[in-house]
Structure 1
Amino acid sequence: MFDDLVNATAGTSGAGAVSAWTRTESAACARKVAAMAAMLEHVYAQSGSADRDQWCLDNFDAVAAHIGAAQNITPGAAFHQLLTSVALHERFPKVAAVFAQGLITYALVKTVVHRGALVVDPDALRRLDALLAEAFADWEPRSVDKTEKAIDFFVHQVDPQALRRDETKARGRSVDVRIEEDGSGMATILATLFAHDAKAFQTRLKNLAATVCPGDPRTADQLRADAIGAVGTDRMACLCGNDDCAAAQNPPATGVVVYVIASDETLAEPTETSDSEPPAPRPETPAPPPDTLVETGESIAADECAAIDGVEPRLFDKPLRDLTLTELMTPTPGRLAKLRPAALMGGQFLPGAIACRAAIGATITSIVHPGQAPPENRYRPSKKLADFIRCRDMTCRFPGCRVPATNCDVDHTIPWPHGPTAASNLKCVCRRHHLLKTFWGGENGWRDRQLDDGTVIWTAPDGLEYVTTPASRLLFPELSRPTATVRVRDVPASHTAGLTMPRRKNTRAQDRADRIRLEREAPPMD
């Protein structure tokens, strides 16, 4: 069937080619989804799988991790793909057949799985599957809202109690923080909250903005925006630059820690390190010539920090009628591109000027590259070595995982004491993937090996290899300079003797059944 769809695209062009390849794309996606369901079925068929359903990292999690590595996507995205694939093939086989023909899209399949999740009676579920498969034969384009309502109509036909309740506005309140992926170093916050809380928040921002002196160069909008970042403090840092500014004598203080990795030339005036405050690490780099650091670095930092405040300057320095076509078409050189960029712990790009702004009042800790230093004679790495590992890796080193290194374990690739506590044998792994490596590892499970430059090569249970490199390599390649080669002692076949996987109280299936029961029994909302 799939080969026929591919052959049907031959000789097509224009809208005909778009239509033919769209159907082929959906059919290919259906086969990918079927392969995911088959992977989970294979794991369930293995010996001991019933006991592993009680594991904290159960069969489902292990398969989702494998799917995420294969596609280089985050664990959350892989988890939802596997959830959809299993529900489709176990609950909606006729809809799955229509999907395999390329007649519906993956987006529509996800909607079917979600809107029909509360149907539990087998006969009702079979009727719903048949009704939807028949309707999809001549399904016309619909908006997301109309699609959900149409599927809800069929759900109501077979089981009125299985309709998913729409949340009221009050129950739908939320806060969404999105860090922009365009390298601007900016983020967008979207919040829906109670009106009285919004009014109080608005007043709080106004009061925080008023803690700076009148000489601060920022506009009212910029002050309110920066006040959001200062919500956890009692006041804002004044940027007027005057030595006698009363507002600057009382700098902000907070218990919230945000780790920023920056080079020495970006932060022209490093502050003293305090052992009493959590560090904000930065990599140590070879110092440039003194005249470059003092005469150029500081002036660049001052100019670029000032460039992000105040009113937007004029685009051109003369009237438009006096400009040539070349001048009109030539963009103004970026004022924020001279300083070396920095990064948040987690890998998000941060322009140098914004890194300088983040350094105001922050604790600065120099990161020391271990070079060819010998390993440390203990299991837990020193703070200096652990800081280096976290700044080098920035994120969990499992394929596709983006958990920030500050939320990860520092893991021995070759387990201690057979492998040393050295940079070439240490990496950051989140707790989920640490458990995966420990309890789903071995000869037929996940295995990893590490190179001297921090590169980690993962071998999956099916023998395929996935290579991950430190997230700092693009911005701070000096952190990936090779460290001392690991000297390995005799490693036993298994190092998990005496260790037990944390267990969950209920299996995943039991938790899902409880959620469905509670939602079905909930009274309709006005």
Structure 2
Amino acid sequence: MSSTAGSTPQAPLWRGLPAAFLGGIDPADADEAPINDLLLGMTDLDRGHSYLAYCDYRTAQVVCDRYVAPREDSDGFVVDGFADAATRIAQTRAMTRHQAEVLLNEAVVLRDRLPEVFECLGDGVISQRQAQQIIVDTGLIDGESYACYVDAEIAQRLRAGTYSLKRLRDMVDRLIFRHDPDAVRERRKDAIDKRGVWVDKRADGTAELTAVMSAENARIAYAHIDGLADRVCAHDGRTKNQRRSDAEFALLTGSDFACECGHADCPITALTLDDAEGADAEGEAGPSKALVPVAPTFVIHVVCDEATLEGRANNPGYMDGHGVIDDEHVRELATRPDARIAPLIPAGTPMNPDGTVTLPGSLASDPYRPTTSLDAFIRIRHGVCSEPGCTTSAWDSDCDHVTEFDHDNPSAGGQTTSENMNPKCRPWHLLKTFSGWLDDQWRDDDGQLRTETVTPEGLIIPGEAETMEELFPGLRRIRYTAPAQAPPASDAPDQERPTRTRSRTANKHARRRAERNRNRKRHNEGPEAPF
């Protein structure tokens, strides 16, 4: 933009960019481009968005320095250098002054607290949204002597692969905790001290009720609301969120929550809260369709190491649906009267000479079914669904064989072991099983568990850079093995009519095994994946 008042950039400046700057796709010819080129082009455009955000922050840093540095001695409240800079940006870009101040603050934090993370943004390794998330999550390290080390470690991990926002938060929290666990504990205490309930007015006669409490209490409260909201028939016309809102009011006030289908023969009938005492004032039970709140069965999974639970170590833990929690929080949860502690490794399990332990992966009666221990291990190791970017809890997902289990010949197919299983949300599980999608899982030369997916068109998409093994390294010492499987005896009829040597399903699984083998050979010998 020139310095001439009122001037604006001309559209051709951007519309005339070569295709190389637009993900390699000319918008005029996009309809004819192969699907893989379009998808790869979108990832290139993501890098472009990141670089533009990087330039935006760099410009904001210069603007901030131009007006703030010369006026550091100003004691003004509104009229100071920072306000001057924010006002210029706000008016030029038609945004609020608050939005401009947020932009300036983020720019300064990236330059002064997170310079290496800032370069990851410029290189297209992360998006602006991810950079903003890291800014929030690293507020604790501002001004600390170890801040530069946390910045460097975060940047190193970012360049190791892709991260969803969920994995990103867990990674940052883990690194900060290991540098300064006391600060994390203090932050949680401060957060708990600030708990409370607020009401904010909204438009058109509505208001928002906000409650801040401990993570576990919030999850339990939400489960009660969700459980009551589901106690209606299929003809109730409200959306799920509308029912949740009505259910929350009913639970908080002790009033009734009724099905609103309007059908006289609604199958959902129950006593009102008053009628639950026995009878009405006339001594006769009154008919009603108001639902009595019923506490749902709800489990919060918390993972920690044994030493931390016993107070012999102060390592972080993990709460499903929330993320990394500090050691004191872990021990507090363990003392709850409703807590149940279940060790992953059964008592008395012998240790191997190399410090590992070996456990059976499948049931003795069924080599396809994982043991309870393996099932829990898989969910703990991943935390969430193994599909890149998915945040569905592993405990709400299906445990799936990566290389398909061969029911006709168990020794030939994928085994029921920890290395061949991962959690998949139901939609991803169905796609992988009944369509042309393929996934794979293996350990690289550094022992890191890696996953990737392959689209039906053959595009290879890398999985998340980390699993929960980074938070709980002891998981790498646990081995789950499959029992020796002898090929089943052939029961093919003795007849001349030609028959299939393998079923269509077996042939599909064989093709998938061959494709996985080719991909693994590529990892060892060939170029990197195209992402």
TM-score interval (norm. to shorter)? 0.3 to 0.5
- Structure number with the bigger relative contact order (C-alpha 8 A, sep ≥ 6) is 1
TM-score normalised by structure 1 residue count: 0.37
Q: So what's the TM-score if we normalise by structure 2?
A: 0.37
